[in-house]
Amino acid sequence: MLPLDKLELPRSVLVEISKEGLPSGSIINKEAKSAISRAAVVFISYLTAVANEHAGTKKTISTNNVLQALSTVEFSEFIPTLELELMEYRRMMKEKKESKAKSNGSTSAVEEEAGDDLEETCIDDPTSPVASVRKRKVSIGSEEEEEPNKNRRTNGSTQSLESPSSA
């Protein structure tokens, strides 16, 4: 594993994100860009380590683990926003799959995908984000294995299919 001082995020992305929080016409000097980059790498590494602790013996960090980690590091106010972004991302991916299936003339593939379930993290009690985190099934067009706590490979990445009690 690389040491943190060797890891870098794309500066153009960091600058773009940083400027969204600044008044129009603001400039970020080179040293500040470097500090923002270092801070982002440290935060991501720390959040990943805490999420890994929540994952326990599992080799895959799930969305649920990341949300729990955010609460652990006292950033729980971001959880509802992140959940909305995650739902939007999943919706866009479903639309992309449906569009691709339609362009291939495969309506049966769309129907099959629509029937598959994927777990989505949701929160019951917004005043206690981690205590009430549970998973519910939603149809978004992904295949799921029958056995719980198994990992699957999709497009070169591993996704966890864990039960809510294991988090």
Sign of the alpha-carbon torsion through 117, 119, 120, 126? positive
Residue 83 within a domain: no
Contacts for 9 with CB less than 8 Å, ≥ 6 apart? 37, 40, 41
| Domain coverage including residue 60 | 8-75
Residue 58 within a domain: yes
Partners of 23 in beta bridges: none
* Cα distance between residue 112 and residue 129, in whole Å: 34
Kindly report the CATH number assigned to the domain that includes residue 12.
Answer: 1.10.20.10
Residue 69 within a domain: yes
* Total tally of structural domains belonging to the chain: 1
Give me the half-sphere count of Cα atoms (radius 13 Å) on the Cβ side of residue 99.
6
Residue 149 within a domain: no
Q: What is the per-residue pLDDT for 144?
A: 38
Q: What is the per-residue pLDDT for 131?
A: 39
Residue 65 within a domain: yes
Contacts for 124 with CB less than 8 Å, ≥ 6 apart? 132, 134
pTM: 0.55
Residue 167 within a domain: no
Listed as ranges, residues in the chain with pLDDT below 70 are 1-2, 4-5, 106-167
Cβ–Cβ under 8 Å, residues 72 and 84: no
Residue 40, both tokens: 């982002």
Q: What is the per-residue pLDDT for 10?
A: 86
Residue 63 within a domain: yes
Residue 67 within a domain: yes
